[in-house]
Amino acid sequence: MTDSATLLLDRLRRAGIGQVVSVEPVIGGLAALAGIATRRDAPPVFVKAFADPPDDDVFAAEAEGLTALRELGGVATPDVIRADRELLVLSVLRPRPRDEDFWEQLAHALARLHLSTVHGRFGWHRDNWLGRRRQTNTWSEDGFAFFAEHRLLRWLGQPRVDAALDTNDRAALERLCRRLPDLLPDRPACLTHGDLWTQNVLSTADGRPALIDPAVSYMWAEVDLAHVWSTSPPPEAGRFFARYAELTALDSDWPARMPIIQLRQHLAVLAQFDDDWGAADQIRATLAPFRTLS
């Protein structure tokens, strides 16, 4: 048994989750350990844990986000079986099917989430987590200020970010933040998943799209769209973008906005992982028009 499987099995037993026969680690997540626990005479469960939890409320916030997506936005999510400091236990979902119809269903589900949850303020009633870093959700009526302060500039000062971005890069980010009202349309807030890369899209037993691992807040809908757009969606996802744009009446310029909006996620990745998967290069490319000659 691997070290991760042993840790997850130990956490399950300490939590009183009985009849566990084995734990098979799963890959895909970047911050936590995860696996599928097989149980004797009971359905399998998905289990997630940190070897060293960043704080006591990580899994409680995640569980709340799953419930909010389901109850407020009508999105399918796994059932929460247990959420405490050491452990998150969920019902098991299936891998997403490789067909265009599934992605078209996802476009409808995401559009319904965004259109049905329009809110008067940006933020959330509590902070939650993006990987191992706390996501600040202090309420604001100004989406541009909220995005600048809590989704972009908050990453400055993180050691990996400061090591990767030079003084001109950081000044360019501040300059971009000041110009956000000129660069992006003034959109209302709505409930967003907040970490919608393609690995967080799975399927229910009956084939409907289901979402996991949220970092919810009331924010611009395009933060979710940008994340799907920027994380190597499979070829069968082509219809997703056209259908979502049609359902939400997006203007034709939306693809040009994706690099600016996705800066939030590139900065988060850069701050947390030694291998940034090209995030630093993409950040610098997006910031290039906002640099001054040195």
- Residues annotated as catalytic are 195
- Tell me which DSSP letter residue 97 carries: P
In angstroms, the first-to-last Cα distance of the chain is: 55
- In terms of phi and psi (left: phi > 0; alpha: psi -120 to 50; beta: otherwise), the region of 278 is left
Give the alpha-carbon dihedral of 108, 80, 233, 115, to 10 degrees. Answer: 30
Contact (CB, 8 A) for 181 and 142: no
Contact (CB, 8 A) for 261 and 282: no
Which residues neighbour 250 within 8 Å (Cβ) at sequence distance 6 or greater? 244
